[in-house]
Amino acid sequence: MIYCDTSFLISLYVGDSHSRETERHLATCSDPLVWTKWHGLEFRTGLEARVGRGLTRHDEANRIFDLLSKQRSPAGIYESCSVNWRAALDEATRLAADYGEKFTSRSLDVLQVAICVQLEVEQFWSFDTRQNDLAETVGLSVLK
């Protein structure tokens, strides 16, 4: 399974500077993409932020969210995973203590890496360099 952070997922559905790269990576991948309740919140927040900045119309954001929902069906590209939030938060706290000074990552970025550790995911796709550095340090394969 592959864990994609929100910036990667948003780029799959809206035209931005990373869209072609995300499409290329997805086209060469046969593993399912992880989907958690966290992704639902992050994805909706990311779309609404785009609406607020005037980059996406509200009706477009709703269509995008509907498309993503269809792709989360049993035959879709996503695999729904349940996160043990206590374990993920404990892992995130440990990662912050061990690597926070080195990578200066935000807590939500550390949490996403901790979710990967908790779910035993091996690949992490993000365009955030610091987040990728942390993910790689804990043994995840990252985009190059």
Q: Which two tokens stand for residue 89?
A: 């938060």
CATH of residue 47's domain is 3.40.50.1010
Sequence-ordered strand ranges (E) for 18-61: 33-35
Domain limits for position 74: 2-142
Please determine, for residue 74, whether its predicted confidence score (pLDDT) is greater than 80: no
Using pLDDT thresholds of 50, 70 and 90, give the confidence band for residue 2.
very high
When pLDDT is cut at 50, 70 and 90, the band that residue 55 belongs to is very high
pTM, whole model, 2 decimals? 0.89
Note the pLDDT tens digit of each residue in 110-123.
Answer: 999 999 999 999 99
Give me the DSSP letters along 20-48.
HHHHHHHHT--SPEEE-HHHHHHHHHHHH
Q: What is the pLDDT of residue 5?
A: 92
> What pLDDT was estimated at residue 81?
94
Supply the pLDDT for residue 135.
97
Number of domains into which the chain is organized: 1
Q: How is residue 76 annotated by DSSP?
A: S
Grade residue 90 by pLDDT with cuts at 50, 70 and 90: very high
